Amino acid sequence: MREDGAIGRGVIAIDGPAGAGKSTVAKRVADSLGLAYVDTGAMYRGITLLGMRSGISPEKDEKKLAELVRTAELKFEARPEGLWVYLNGEDVTRAIRQPEVSRQVSYYARVPSVRQLLTSLQRELAAAGGIVMEGRDIGTVVLPDADKKFFITASVLERARRRQRDLVQQGYRVTLEDLVREIEERDRLDSSRAMAPLCVAPDAVVIDTSNLTVDEVVARIVAEVGVL
Ligand code: DC
């Protein structure tokens, strides 16, 4: 926060469902505008990996999970290439992308103490301004005063195809049908949770990327942002 308590200038919020291409687009927008980039999904993934490794179920052991999150050493480092995540000193930036973490993350992201902690960390990261922050609830809850808000979406099938391409590149084998099911389930969980559900902020610009290239989406956002 600035001394006057307000959020700094040059704050762009990008929200949207899983696999809509937010991360690629947000990173490119940040690069072309010379802003920092923070992928808040990586923060939720870090907590999920921590919980999974400790054998703590987000549904049954909410108290234990809150305690673990408070005591574990979870560090986030905003680099030009993306958000680096460290867990008790170990670099887990790659490990948090495992399909098993993707399957579990919505359950951990529903826990109020987890959301409270990450929301305040995210506000601290944005306090100085000059940032593109990407997630599910950035424009609605984390940074409601952001200068510009975007909601990036795409059809479920197109999102599943993109996810499959990414996973194949990382050496994982998954079927399109399984990915469609997983994405639908994640959308359902992310949109129906009680706290900070995935929804479009009333003042967000909605972009359906199903038939757009990354370059086209980036160009639209950069044009819309204009001069901050
Ligand atoms: O963007 P992603 O797929 O890496 O996000 C992983 C999960 O984290 C997603 O299923 C929902 C959750 N998430 C959230 O609840 N709020 C955010 N601001 C970002 C992600």
CATH code assigned at 47: 3.40.50.300
Specify if 3 maps to a domain.
no
Specify if 179 maps to a domain.
yes
**Gap from CA of 39 to ligand 1 centroid (Å):** 9
At which residue do the structure tokens 């990414």 appear? 166
**Gap from CA of 224 to ligand 1 centroid (Å):** 25
User: Phi then psi for 19, rounded to 5 degrees?
Assistant: 75, 15
The encoded tokens of residue 102 equal 């993707």
| Whole-angstrom distance, CA of residue 72 vs CA of residue 59 | 19
**Gap from CA of 69 to ligand 1 centroid (Å):** 17
Residue whose Cα lies nearest atom 10 of ligand 1: it is: 106
> Does the pLDDT of residue 8 top 70, yes or no?
no
Specify if 16 maps to a domain.
yes
| Whole-angstrom distance, CA of residue 135 vs CA of residue 14 | 6
| Cβ–ligand 1 contact at 40 (below 6 Å) | yes
The β-bridge relationship of strands 148-153 and 205-208 is: parallel
Residue type, 140: T
> Please, which residues have CB within 8 angstroms of residue 205's CB and are 6 or more apart in sequence?
148, 149, 150, 151, 221, 224
**Gap from CA of 217 to ligand 1 centroid (Å):** 21
pLDDT at 5: 41
| Whole-angstrom distance, CA of residue 110 vs CA of residue 195 | 7
Q: What is the pTM of this model?
A: 0.88
Specify if 2 maps to a domain.
no
User: Phi then psi for 208, rounded to 5 degrees?
Assistant: -90, 115
Neighbouring C-beta atoms of residue 109, cutoff 10 Å: 27
pLDDT at 3: 45
User: Phi then psi for 164, rounded to 5 degrees?
Assistant: -60, -45
**Gap from CA of 128 to ligand 1 centroid (Å):** 23
Chain-wide mean pLDDT for the chain? 90
Specify if 6 maps to a domain.
no
C-alpha distances out from residue 159 to 51, 163, 183, Å? 27, 6, 8
| Cβ–ligand 1 contact at 108 (below 6 Å) | no
Q: List 208's β-bridge partners, or say none.
A: 153
Per the structure, how many domains does the chain have? 1
Q: Are 85 and 96 in contact (CB under 8 A)?
A: yes
**Gap from CA of 1 to ligand 1 centroid (Å):** 24
The encoded tokens of residue 51 equal 């919980």
Specify if 29 maps to a domain.
yes
Question: What are 169-193's pLDDT values in tens digits?
Answer: 989 888 999 999 999 998 898 888 8
Question: What is residue 173's DSSP assignment?
Answer: -
Mutation choice for ligand 1 from 105, 116, 182, CB with most ligand atoms inside 8 A: 105
Mutation choice for ligand 1 from 98, 136, 149, 162, CB with most ligand atoms inside 8 A: 136
Half-sphere exposure of 223 (CA within 13 A, CB side): 6
| Cβ–ligand 1 contact at 182 (below 6 Å) | no
Half-sphere exposure of 214 (CA within 13 A, CB side): 11
Specify if 215 maps to a domain.
yes
Q: Which domain holds residue 67?
A: 11-223
Question: What are 84-138's pLDDT values in tens digits?
Answer: 999 989 999 999 999 899 889 989 999 999 999 999 999 999 998 999 999 999 9
Specify if 5 maps to a domain.
no
> Does the pLDDT of residue 81 top 80, yes or no?
no
| Cβ–ligand 1 contact at 134 (below 6 Å) | no
Percent of the chain with pLDDT over 90: 65
User: Phi then psi for 127, rounded to 5 degrees?
Assistant: -60, -35
| Whole-angstrom distance, CA of residue 109 vs CA of residue 137 | 11
